[in-house]
Amino acid sequence: MEHFGGILRDEQERRKWQNPEDILSEIGLRPGMTFADIGCGQGFFTVPAAKIVGDSGKVYASDISEPNIQKLREKVASEKLKNVILETGKAEDLILCSACADIVFFGIVLHDFEDPRKVLANAHSMLKPFGKLIDLDWSKESSEIGPPLHIRFSEEKAIQLIESSGFHVQVVKKSGSYHYIVMANL
């Protein structure tokens, strides 16, 4: 179960308004790539990413919550995925690999970090020279689900944070009814 705005929603419910496979395809995830899922929760994007990158690829996933990582560890084992490396800790303190990731992904979490600039600096360290940073986040609009409006980042704020961290924003667009995607590179 994942928690959004005081309402517990399981993965099936979340899939009604967000399709991880479609989003991962849209951002260009392919077999053989290395994907870093920062603030992965219980693996809503991690598990589909591991299936997409396949045995020749790798997925790094981190979350501050040990219970989330434990549930994800169980999912990974039940799916017999051998290409997932899990880490518990604050995103501000973790660099999962050095210049290894084709994609560093923030799935509706950038607004949650204590120090988003530090997290983005760590992402910079993890990306390959031609890698992509992806920020999928809640639109700053009222909705019946999601975090309180006052903690959401507007697209403009997300772009400013990302660009001030040394990235070049390439694409900004809506993603479903509740989110936007910012795609950037080094």
Report domain extents, the chain.
2-179
Mean pLDDT of the region 87-101:
97
In sequence order, the β-bridge partners of residue 38 are 62, 106
Q: What is the pLDDT of residue 5?
A: 42
pLDDT in tens, 100-118: 999 999 999 999 999 999 9
Please determine, for residue 167, whether its predicted confidence score (pLDDT) is greater than 60. Answer: yes
Q: Provide the angle, in degrees to the nearest 10, between the axes of the packed helices 46-53 and 66-78.
A: 40
* Residue 29 pLDDT: 98
The C-alpha atoms of residue 17 and residue 176 are separated, in whole angstroms, by: 7
Gyration radius (Cα) of the chain, Å: 15
Is the domain spanning 2-179 CATH 3.40.50.150? The answer is: yes
- For residue 144, the SS3 value is coil
Q: What pLDDT, on a 0 to 100 scale, did the predictor assign at position 11?
A: 77
Indicate whether 160 pLDDT > 90.
yes
| pLDDT confidence tier of residue 162, bands split at 50, 70 and 90 | very high
3-state secondary structure of 145: coil
Q: Averaged over 128-134, what is the pLDDT?
A: 97
